[in-house]
């Protein structure tokens, strides 16, 4: 499929200002002067997996070199903190939070409520009262511990049904079964009460393509946030996980309309788990890397052209460590190439795209 001019520009590293300067026949973007001030840099970051963080010094160094923001990939999940019902184990989270703080990195917390990554005892909760008590106590304890340190929380993760057109908006989880849709309100209300300064985000996936179910997911996300706001419950943003399928096209118009609606609600947008699922692309590494960079460029260009995200976070940094390889295995068994650094931690074309936003050049 021939790349559109915008995609070619993206891949070539041209910025919006470069294009405007060229169109005006100016020698460089600098000649545009302050009238078209450079866009604000968008902080870039990555999820950090504790096992890899402990085992691979190159991984730690990459987090230091490339990231403004760090999010513990698994260590703030119930599965990690609450494996024993009677106590909270913050060892992994404290290690990553401490690393981020010592190195001046901002922190995102993931996730106060999710229907997955739960310890067995939580899956066995059986009454409304038990679920509400455990949920409130968990959020109170976790948010209080990191109050003023973790600036942004994925308060709820993946509460929207995979295809809301099939039987209703909310995903079937233990929280939904015991508390109904109110589980979302309880989570946001509790987090806001404990840390009124934290930014509180609804985080979910599959907002990017043009299927009817995807458009409905965008609508449901907005509706949930609108209901929270109507009840005076603080919500600050929508997190787009953005696990992009390289073989599918983006719904640029749908994405831009989503950004307009997010703005009308006074919400921020965050890109929270960006990576590229390349399992259907040709084997050649260069081809895959260029296609992934172009897809990320088109996606971010669509978003940023309407609303600048508060942060752009990838779900890992190096192809050496990614969930994609096992979850979306390639028929040719070639290693997935979903992230901005290759398996030897060398930057790929995707990192150049991300770096333009990080430096306020796009
Ligand atoms: O920590 C235990 C370890 O003690 C044990 O020996 C090992 C083997 O059982 O499991 C380890 O826990 C694993 C954990 O990752 C840490 O490596 C869990 O089994 C495993 O299920 C967990 O997978 C994570 C998954 O979320 C579920 O929590 C992935 O690393 C993580 O990339 C993935 O991330 C999710 C986001 O949270 C939400 N969006 C989708 C994204 C991809 O699935």
CATH of span 16-30+41-358: 3.20.20.80
The DSSP code sequence of 304-329 is HTT---S-EEES-SBTTS-THHHHS-
Tens digit of pLDDT per residue, the chain (362 long)? 444 444 444 444 555 566 666 766 767 666 666 556 789 999 999 999 999 999 999 999 999 999 999 999 999 999 999 999 999 999 999 999 999 999 999 999 999 999 999 999 999 999 999 999 999 999 999 999 999 999 999 999 999 999 999 989 999 999 999 999 999 999 999 999 999 999 999 999 999 999 999 999 999 999 999 999 999 999 999 999 999 999 999 999 999 999 999 999 999 999 999 999 999 999 999 999 999 999 999 999 999 999 999 999 999 999 999 999 999 999 999 999 999 999 999 999 999 999 999 999 99
Half-sphere exposure of 60 (CA within 13 A, CB side): 14
- Token pair for residue 353? 């795209």
Those residues with Cβ within 8 angstroms of residue 220's Cβ, 6 or more apart along the chain or in another chain: 160, 161, 164, 169
79 a catalytic residue: no
CA of 1 to the centre of ligand 1 (A): 35
Q: Which atom of ligand 1 is nearest to the CA of 316?
A: 32
Which residue CA neighbors atom 23 of ligand 1 most closely? Answer: 74
Q: How far is the CA of 73 from the centre of ligand 1 (A)?
A: 8
CB contact set of 20 (below 8 Å; sequence gap of 6+) = 29, 32, 36
Is 137 catalytic? The answer is: no
Q: Whose CA is nearest to atom 6 of ligand 1?
A: 51
Report the run of H or E that residue 268 belongs to, with start and end.
Answer: strand 268-277
Considering the entire predicted model, what is its pTM?
Answer: 0.92
241 CA: nearest ligand 1 atom: 39
Specify the ligand 1 atom closest to the Cα of 111.
37
Q: What's the rounded Cα separation, in Å, for the pair 229 and 252? A: 27
CA 271 to centroid of ligand 1, rounded, Å? 20
| Alpha helices, DSSP H, located in the chain | 5-12, 16-23, 50-55, 57-66, 78-81, 91-102, 120-123, 128-145, 174-179, 182-194, 212-230, 252-264, 285-304, 324-327, 349-358
**Distance in angstroms (rounded) separating the CA atoms of residues 155 and 143:** 10
Cα Dmax for the chain = 68
Among 75, 89, 323, the mutation site with the greatest number of ligand 1 atoms within 8 A of its Cβ is: 323
Active-site residue, selected from the candidate residues 158, 185, 216, 261: 158
Task: Residue 71: name the closest of 224, 239, 185, 194 by CA.
Answer: 239
Q: CB neighbours (10 Å) of residue 120?
A: 9
Q: How far is the CA of 331 from the centre of ligand 1 (A)?
A: 24
Residue ID of nearest Cα to ligand 1 atom 16: 74
Give yes or no for a contact between 69 and 107, defined as CB atoms under 8 angstroms apart.
Answer: yes
146 vs 149: CA distance, rounded Å: 5
Residues enclosing ligand 1, CB less than 6 A?
A: 51, 73-74, 77, 116-117, 157, 241, 273, 323
Place of tokens 């260069």: 286
333 CA to centre of ligand 1 in angstroms = 22
For ligand 1, atom 28, which residue shows the shortest CA distance? 117
- CA neighbor of 240 nearest in space, from 231, 250, 226: 250
């Amino acid at each position: 499929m021939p790349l559109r001019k915008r995609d070619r520009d993206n891949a070539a590293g041209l910025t919006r200002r470069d294009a405007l300067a060229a169109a005006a026949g100016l020698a460089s973007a600098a000649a545009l002067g302050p009238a078209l001030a450079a866009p604000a840099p968008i902080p870039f970051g990555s999820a950090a997996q504790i096992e890899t963080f402990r085992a691979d010094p190159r991984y730690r160094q990459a987090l230091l070199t490339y990231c403004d923001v760090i999010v513990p990939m698994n260590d703030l999940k119930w599965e990690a903190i609450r494996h024993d019902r009677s106590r909270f184990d913050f060892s992994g989270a404290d290690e990553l939070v401490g690393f981020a703080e010592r190195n001046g990195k901002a922190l995102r917390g993931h996730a106060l409520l999710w229907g997955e990554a739960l310890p067995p005892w939580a899956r066995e909760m059986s009454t409304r009262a038990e679920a509400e008590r455990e949920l409130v106590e968990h959020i109170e304890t976790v948010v209080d511990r990191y109050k003023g340190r973790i600036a942004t929380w994925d308060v709820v993760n993946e509460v929207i049904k995979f295809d809301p057109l099939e039987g209703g908006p909310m995903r079937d989880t233990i929280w939904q079964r015991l508390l109904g849709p109110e589980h979302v309100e309880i989570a946001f209300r509790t987090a806001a009460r404990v840390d009124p300064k934290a930014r509180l985000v609804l985080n979910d996936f599959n907002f990017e393509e043009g299927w009817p179910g995807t458009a409905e997911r965008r609508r449901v996300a907005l509706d949930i946030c609108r209901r929270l706001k109507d009840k005076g419950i603080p919500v600050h943003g929508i997190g787009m996980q953005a696990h992009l399928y390289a073989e599918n096209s983006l719904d640029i118009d749908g994405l831009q309309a989503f950004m307009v609606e997010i703005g009308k609600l006074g919400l921020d947008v965050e890109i929270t788990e960006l990576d590229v699922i390349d399992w259907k692309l040709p084997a050649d590494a260069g081809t895959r890397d260029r296609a992934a960079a172009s897809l990320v460029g088109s996606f971010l260009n669509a978003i940023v052209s309407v609303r600048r995200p508060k942060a752009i976070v990838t779900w890992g940094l190096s192809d050496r460590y990614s969930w994609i390889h096992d979850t979306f295995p390639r028929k040719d068994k070639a290693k997935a190439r979903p992230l901005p650094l290759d398996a030897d931690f060398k930057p790929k074309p995707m990192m150049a795209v991300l770096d333009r936003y990080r430096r306020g050049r796009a």
